[in-house]
Amino acid sequence: MQQLGRPGPGLLARPRQTALQSNRPLGSAEVTHPFHPLRGQRFVVLKVRRVAGVESLSLRHAELGSFAMPREWTDWGSPDTQAAASAEPLYFDGFALLALAELVVSVSRRHCKVDQ
C-alpha cells in the first residue's frame, strides 16, 4: 500500500503565467495615418491583436470608447512606414481645388468652341 504524505515543494508551485496580464500597462499610441481624422491624437493602448494577418491595436477614446486601428497607422508601426507617412505633410486646399476645376472647365469650353 502506498503511503500518502505531503506533496513535495515542486507540486505546490504555481504554473508560470503565459497569458497577457490584464493590468499590465501597454502605453499609448499616436495616430500617424496621413488621412485619418484622428491623426496626431494619442490614445491609451488596451491590447494588441492579430486579425486576418493584420496586427491591430485596441485604443481607448474618452468619448468614442474603444476602437481598433491597424498598427501601421500609428507610431507603433514599422519605422519605414512612419518615415513614408511623415516625410512631407500633405495639405489640401479646397479653394485652390475649386479654382483649378473652374480653370479646367473654362479651358475645355474654349477648346470645344475652337473645334466647332
Q: Tens of pLDDT along 28-78?
A: 999 999 889 999 999 999 999 997 888 999 999 988 899 999 999 999 987
Question: Smallest Cα–Cα separation from 60: which of 100, 27, 19, 93?
Answer: 27
CB atoms within 10 A of CB 68: 13
Q: Which regions of the chain does DSSP assign to beta strands (E)?
A: 28-30, 42-51, 54-61, 65-70
Q: What is the reported pTM?
A: 0.49
Strands 65-70 and 54-61: antiparallel
CA-CA distance, 13 to 27, in Å (whole number)? 32
pLDDT at position 11 over 60: no
pLDDT at position 3 over 60: no
CB-based burial, 7-27: b 16+ in 10 Å, e otherwise: eeeeeeeeeeeeeeeeeeeee
